[in-house]
A and B are shown apart, each in its own frame.
Chain A
Amino acid sequence: MRNENEQEKLTPEDFERVTIDAHHSERIEKPSLSFWQDAWLGLRKNKAAIVSMIILLVVIIMALIGPHLNGHAGDAQNLRHANLPPKIPGIEATGFFDGDGKLAGKTVNLYEMKKVDEYYWFGTDGLGRDLFTRLWEGTRVSLFIAFVAAAIDMVIGVAYGGISGYFGGRTDDIMQRVVEILIGIPTLIVVILMIMIMDPGITAIIVAITITGWIGMSRIVRAQTLKYKSQEFVLASRTLGAKDGKIITKHLLPNMLGIIIINTMFTIPNAIFFEAFLSFIGIGLQPPAASLGTLINDGYKVMENQPYVLLFPAIVISVLMIAFNLIGDGLRDALDPKMKD
C-alpha cells in the first residue's frame, strides 16, 4: 500500500518480473478465419458493394416475380389500350404517374379519355402491351443470357488455361499460338458475324458472346497455374504421390478461385451489354421476345412522344451494370491479397 508521497521512490520490489511462457508465444489470439470469412469481412466494409448486392437481389427477385404481379401478360395486345402513360395507384394523387400524357401537344389524362379503368404501372407500348410485365420479362432474359454466357466463359476459360498452363511444353505452345491469333480478332466483329449466320434467338446470342469471351479467363488461369504449380506445396503433394487430377482440384483451383470469381463478375455486365447492344442494332432477339436491349430499342423509336417507354428499361440496365461493376470492384478489393493493408 503506497500513499501519494511515496510515489517517487520506487524500489526494486515494486517491479515484478514477467516470465515469457514459450508455450503461449505462438498462441493465436483471434479466432482463425477461413479465406472466405476473411473476404466477407473485407467485402462487408465496402458500402457500395453491399448496396449493389441488395439492389441486384431486388432486381433478380423482380425479374422472377415481376411479370406475375399485375395480371397483365407480357404478350397480350390490346390496341384500345395502346400508348398509355404510367399510372400507379397510390402515387397518382401526387401528380406523378397519374396517367397524364401528351396528345397533339396538350396534356390530357389518357386513361380518362380512353375510358381505361385498369392501371398500367409503367404504361403500355404501341400495341397496348403492359410495359411493367415486359420490363421484368426482358430483365429475366437479359440476366439469363448474361449468367449462362459468363458460366460458359468461365468453364471453357478455366479448362483451356488450366490445361495449357499445367501441362506446359508443346501443349502449351500450340494452345498459346491459337490464343495469340484469336485475341487479335476484335470481339465485336466475331460477335456480329456469328450472330448473322445463326437463327436469331437466345442461343445465338450466348454462342456469339462466348465464342471469344473465354480467352481473357484462359490467360488469367494459365498465368495463375504457372505461378502455383512450381511452388513447394504442390511439389510436396506430388512427392506424397498425388495424381495430376488431385493436384489440380485440391491445390491449384482453390488458390485461383478468388481471381476466377472476380473475372466472372466482370464478364456478366459485359454480356449484358453485348446482348443489349445486339438487340439495339436489331440483330439480337427478335419480336415479340423482350430483352432489355429490345425494350430500349422499342423505347428509342417512340422517345419523342412516349419517353417513359425508353426510361424504365434504360434505368434497369444502367442500375444492373453499375451494381455488377461495383460488386466486382468490391470483390477484387476483398479477395486480392495484394490489396490487403
Chain B
Amino acid sequence: MVKYIGKRIVYMFITLFLIATASFFLMQTLPGSPIASYNKLNDTQKAIVEKKYGIDKPKPVQYAIYMKNLAKGDLGTSFVFKGKSVNDLLATRLKPSLILGAQAMVFGTIVGILLGMLAALKHNTFWDYGSTFFAILGISIPSFVFASLLQYWIASEWHLLPVGLWNDGWKSSVLPSLALAMGPLALSARFIRTEMIEVLNSDYIMLAKAKGANGFEIAFKHAFRNALIPLITVLGPLAAGLVTGSLVVEQIFAIPGIGEQFVSSIMTNDHATIMGTTLLFSAFLIAVIFIVDILYGVIDPRIRVSGGKG
C-alpha cells in the first residue's frame, strides 16, 4: 500500500509538472500580447513594460524562473490586474467557488441518492421510471442551458431570487448551486439505482428478510451501505463535471469565482492568471482522483488485498 501511494504521488507530480510545462509553452504561442494596447506603445515603453513583467528575457530563462517560483508556490504576477499577484487574485476568488461547489455536491448527491434508492426500492413502477427519466434529463441537459433557463424563469420572470452577482448572501448562491447540482444529482441517482437493484437481489438481503428485518431496516442498514461504496468511484468524474460546470455557471450568474476568472483571463490574454488557474484546477482534480483511489482501497478490503491498482 505504501509503495502504491508513493508511486501515485510521483505520478501526480509528473503530471502537474507536464501540465505546467505544456501550459507555459502553449502560452508563448498564443496569438496577441497580454499587454493591452501593446501596439500603441513606443519601443522604450515596450522595453519598460516587458522588463516589469519579466518577459524581456529569453524563453528558457523565463521558464526556469517560472518553475523556480512555482516550486515555492508563487504563481507570478497578473498582467491585467496591475501588480497583483496571481496567488492573491485566486485567493479572493476561491471562496464563492468553494461554497457553490460544496453546496452543489452535498445537495446533488443527497437528493440523487434518495432518488436512486426510491427507484431501486420501487423497481419497475412509476417512481422508478420517473426518477430514471429525471436522471437522464440531468445527465443530458448541458449545465449552461439549465442555468440560463433557471435564471430566466426564477430570477428575471418571477423575481424570486437574485439574477446574479455575489452580494445577496445565501440567496445569491441558490440558483448557481442548483444549476451545478444537476450533474452530481443525476449521476449518483443512476449509480445508486443500479447498485441497489443488484444488492437487493443478493443472498444476504434474502437472509435479512428471512430473519424478519423490516423493509426500512433492510433498505438502509443492509442494502444502502453496500450500494454506497461504489459511489466513491464516480467522485472523480463528478468533481471534473463540477469544475467544467463552474466555468459557465459562474459566467452566467456573474459570480466572482475561479471559473469566471479563468474565462475572463482567456479573453484578456492574461498569461500568468491562465496558467495559475489551469494549475489550480489540475491540482484539484488530480488530488480528487488520488483520494478516491486511496479511499476505495481503504473501504473495500478486496481491492486492498489484491494490491490496489486502478
Contact = CB atoms under 8 A, between A and B. Distances in A.
A304 B151 CA distance: 10
B144 A321 contact: no
Contacts of B142: 273, 276-277, 317-318, 321
Contacts of B61: none
Contact of B26 (A185, A197, A304, A310): A197
Interface in A159-206: 180-181, 184-189, 192-194, 196-197
A181 B29 CA distance: 23
B281 A181 contact: no
B204 interface: no
B110 interface: no
B6 to A, nearest CB: 15
Contacts, number: 102
A318 B140 contact: yes
Interface in B20-48: 22-23, 26, 29-30
A11 to B, nearest CB: 48
Given A273-B142, A281-B251, A322-B137, A192 B266 contact: yes
Contact of A296 (B23, B140, B148): B148
Contacts of B266: 192, 196, 281, 283
Interface string B273-305: 000001001100110010000000000000000
Given A193-B26, A322-B137, A186 B243 contact: yes
Contacts of B14: 181
A133 interface: no
A281 B263 contact: yes
Q: Which of A300, A310, A326 has the most CB of B within 10 A?
A: A300
Given A186-B282, A188-B243, A314-B149, A321 B141 contact: yes
Contact of B30 (A188, A196, A299): A196
A283 B282 CA distance: 20
Nearest to A276: B142
Q: How large is the interface on A (under 10, 10 to 19, 20 to 34, 35 or more residues)?
A: 35 or more
B145 A184 contact: no
B111 interface: no
A277 B12 CA distance: 27
Contact of A310 (B30, B136, B148, B285): B148
Q: How large is the interface on B (under 10, 10 to 19, 20 to 34, 35 or more residues)?
A: 35 or more
B252 A300 contact: yes
Interface in B243-290: 243-244, 247-248, 251-252, 263, 266-267, 278, 281-282, 285-286, 289
A301 to B, nearest CB: 10
A304 to B, nearest CB: 6
B244 A277 contact: yes
A181 B15 contact: yes
A303 interface: yes
Contacts of B4: none
B12 A184 contact: yes
B137 A196 contact: no
Contacts of A185: 15, 18-19, 282
B90 interface: no
B152 interface: yes
A154 to B, nearest CB: 20
B18 A181 contact: yes
Interface string A266-293: 0001000100110011110000000000
Nearest to B310: A219
B11 interface: yes
A325 interface: yes
A89 interface: no
Contacts of B23: 189, 193
Contact of B281 (A186, A277, A299): A186
Contact of B145 (A197, A269, A282, A318): A318
B156 interface: yes
B148 A188 contact: no
B148 A189 contact: no
B240 interface: yes
A186 B247 CA distance: 14
Nearest to B141: A318
Interface string A316-341: 01100110111000000000000000
Contacts of B114: none
Contact of A282 (B15, B22, B267, B281): B267
Contacts of A318: 137, 140-142, 145
A324 B140 CA distance: 9
Nearest to B190: A329
B139 interface: yes
Contact of A184 (B148, B151, B247, B286): B286
A50 to B, nearest CB: 15
Nearest to B277: A189
A108 B94 CA distance: 46
Given A186-B286, A321-B142, 12 more contacts: A181-B15, A184-B15, A185-B18, A186-B240, A186-B282, A189-B23, A189-B278, A193-B22, A282-B263, A299-B148, A310-B148, A325-B136
User: Which 6 pairs show the lowest CB-CB distances between chains A and B?
Assistant: A321-B140, A184-B15, A322-B140, A186-B285, A314-B145, A318-B141
11 contacts: A188-B243, A189-B282, A277-B244, A280-B144, A282-B267, A299-B148, A310-B152, A317-B142, A318-B140, A318-B145, A325-B139
Interface of B: 11-12, 14-15, 18-19, 22-23, 26, 29-30, 136-137, 139-142, 144-145, 148-149, 151-152, 156, 240, 243-244, 247-248, 251-252, 263, 266-267, 278, 281-282, 285-286, 289
